Amino acid sequence: MNKFFNIHNKCGMDLSQTEELFHDLGHFAQNRFGFKKPPSLNLVSDVENGQKPLGKTAYYDPHERCVTIYTNNRHIKDILRSLAHELVHHMQNELGMLDDDGYHGPGYAQKNKQMRNRESEAYEKGNLCMRDWEDRLKQSKPTIYNEWRIKTMSTKKWKNNELMENVTRKFGFKMDLTQLNEASCGSKKKYEEELKEEKECPECKGKGDECKCPDKKELKEKEKMAFKEEIAKAKKHLVGLKDQYYKELKLGSKLTKEQQEAISFYNKYNQEQQAMVKAQKASADHFLKQTNNVFNQNFKGFDFNVGEKTYRFKVNDIEGTKKYQSDILNFVSEYVDDKNMMKDARGYHKALYAARNIDKIVKHFYEQGKADAIKETTMKAKNIDMSPRSTTPVVNAGGFKVRALSGESSSGLKFKIRNK
């Protein structure tokens, strides 16, 4: 163990399985924050403080360069998180960032702006340090408690490993269950060597498998069968223990009230999720069935009602239309950008309105077209020129103002004399 801290265990905490974590986190934090000397570490007990919902967790003494952590009723991970936070303050102290003459009493994090910034830095860097150290440790030393990070492991395999680990721990023993097979049993080779030494007959000594003695061959077969039976019994026994443990968990016979409520909530959530998935699948299947009924082999196009008549619009790409309209997201995606933000609101609402009122829109343009056709026919029948009139230009010629008239006939020629 590469020790980093001088730990003063004043609370009597069992560090046999966790002391290495304190030192490893200390080395990691020093490499990240760059402080020169490690602080001393005090682990203390305060029962009254531990019973308070908002009791003290830890503090750093800049003068003594010491971190003190309260351990009552706390998970080891929470204790380590407090340590990472206080190590940021230790770094700040070495850099002279804690030399502040301002207010340091209750609520200093709200009343002292400079110290508030120091606390903000400690929370941010301390938590990230803890997270990065934890992830690095889990990836370098995977265990049954973090095998979920191994992407190649299935959920079923992880669950079985978790249950088997709990079973073996509950009944007071632990063993590598992967060894319970004939191909990789760690004791099989040794067992066979001992059997060979004990049962080898004098006539065939040193010949190994060349022994032809009937009794010896029969004995070896019986021993192999017995060995297989023992393996099968052991596997059956452990599987039974696993099933029993899982059954007890489901029944909740040895769980606290909070644990029973948690399991009840989890089971209810699973049931609701299964029901929701089932309902969604049924809805999707029904939708596809109805869609297939529309785009069947007799489909020619879509019909539109215009007054008392019905007009059909032929669809050329039937399969493409069916595929596109089977997922509403295909329609929506045309009006949003890569971040799912609306980029063409007018086009979206125009298309949606047209889809909801298509028969009305078709009828409107049909009626409008019919009215325009009647109007044009009437004008042609009455020889009405609807083109705009043009103003006849006036020309000055030798003191006279002359206006040119249209047409080849001069019968309309007029002179106007004004009295001056």
Q: What is the pLDDT of residue 349?
A: 92
Calculate the alpha carbon distances from 234 to 104, 165, 178, 220, 237 in Å: 64, 16, 12, 21, 5
Half-sphere exposure of 299 (CA within 13 A, CB side): 16
Q: What is the pLDDT of residue 308?
A: 77
Longest dimension (CA), the chain: 164
Q: What is the pLDDT of residue 8?
A: 93
296: helix, strand or coil: coil
pLDDT digits (tens, 9 = 90+) for 222-235: 888 888 888 888 88
Give 133's DSSP letter.
H
Q: What is the pLDDT of residue 144?
A: 45
Q: Provide the β-strand partners of residue 301.
A: 314
Give the residue-averaged pLDDT of 95-109: 82
What is the C-alpha to C-alpha distance for residues 69 and 56, in angstroms, rounded to an integer? 9
- The structure tokens listed for 375 are 């109007």
**What is the CA angle 287-290-291, rounded to 5?**
85
Q: Confidence class of residue 201 from pLDDT cuts 50, 70 and 90?
A: low
Would you say 147 and 164 are in contact if contact means Cβ atoms under 8 Å apart?
Answer: no
Half-sphere exposure of 88 (CA within 13 A, CB side): 21
Q: What is the pLDDT of residue 244?
A: 76
Q: What is the pLDDT of residue 177?
A: 47
pLDDT digits (tens, 9 = 90+) for 129-138: 999 999 898 8
Q: Confidence class of residue 28 from pLDDT cuts 50, 70 and 90?
A: very high
| Beta-sheet pairing, 309-314 with 394-397 | unpaired
Residue 376 has pLDDT above 90, yes or no: no
For the chain, percent of residues with pLDDT exceeding 90: 26
pLDDT digits (tens, 9 = 90+) for 334-348: 888 888 898 999 998
Higher-scoring residue by pLDDT: 374, 256: 374
Q: What is the pLDDT of residue 125?
A: 94
Query: In degrees to the nearest 10, what's the CA dihedral of 125, 131, 136, 137?
Result: 120
Give the residue-averaged pLDDT of 257-270: 80
Q: What is the pLDDT of residue 149?
A: 43
Q: What is the pLDDT of residue 130?
A: 94
How many C-beta neighbours within 10 Å does residue 312 have?
10
Residue 89 has pLDDT above 50, yes or no: yes
Which residues, other chains included, contact 105 with Cβ-Cβ below 8 Å and sequence gap of 6+?
111
Calculate the alpha carbon distances from 401 to 169, 394, 412 in Å: 121, 7, 17
Would you say 191 and 230 are in contact if contact means Cβ atoms under 8 Å apart?
Answer: no
Q: What is the pLDDT of residue 137?
A: 86
- The structure tokens listed for 297 are 């082999």
Q: What is the pLDDT of residue 228?
A: 86
How many C-beta neighbours within 10 Å does residue 249 have?
15
What is the C-alpha to C-alpha distance for residues 281 and 275, in angstroms, rounded to an integer? 10
What is the C-alpha to C-alpha distance for residues 304 and 359, in angstroms, rounded to an integer? 6
Q: What is the pLDDT of residue 185?
A: 45
Rg (CA), the chain: 45
Domains defined for the chain, CATH in brackets: 7-141 (1.10.10)
Residue 76 has pLDDT above 70, yes or no: yes
Evaluated on CA atoms 378, 381, 382, 386, the torsion sign reads positive
- The structure tokens listed for 347 are 């086009």
- The DSSP H or E segment spanning 313 is strand 309-314
Q: What is the pLDDT of residue 412?
A: 57
Please state the length of the chain.
420
Q: Provide the β-strand partners of residue 306.
A: 309
What is the C-alpha to C-alpha distance for residues 104 and 108, in angstroms, rounded to an integer? 5
Would you say 181 and 231 are in contact if contact means Cβ atoms under 8 Å apart?
Answer: yes
Average pLDDT of the residues of the chain: 79
How many C-beta neighbours within 10 Å does residue 132 have?
13
What is the C-alpha to C-alpha distance for residues 233 and 284, in angstroms, rounded to an integer? 48
Counting runs of H as helices and runs of E as strands, what totals does the chain give? 13, 8
Least confident of 176-185, 258-267, 333-342, 381-390: 176-185
pLDDT digits (tens, 9 = 90+) for 142-170: 654 454 444 555 666 666 676 666 666 65
pLDDT digits (tens, 9 = 90+) for 380-396: 776 666 666 666 666 66
Residue 71 has pLDDT above 80, yes or no: yes
What is the C-alpha to C-alpha distance for residues 165 and 147, in angstroms, rounded to an integer? 13
For the chain, percent of residues with pLDDT exceeding 70: 70
pLDDT digits (tens, 9 = 90+) for 306-332: 877 888 888 888 888 888 888 888 888
Least confident of 106-110, 121-125, 282-286, 376-380: 376-380
What is the C-alpha to C-alpha distance for residues 83 and 91, in angstroms, rounded to an integer? 12
Per 3-state DSSP, the chain is made up of helix, strand and coil in percentages (nearest 5) of 55, 10, 35
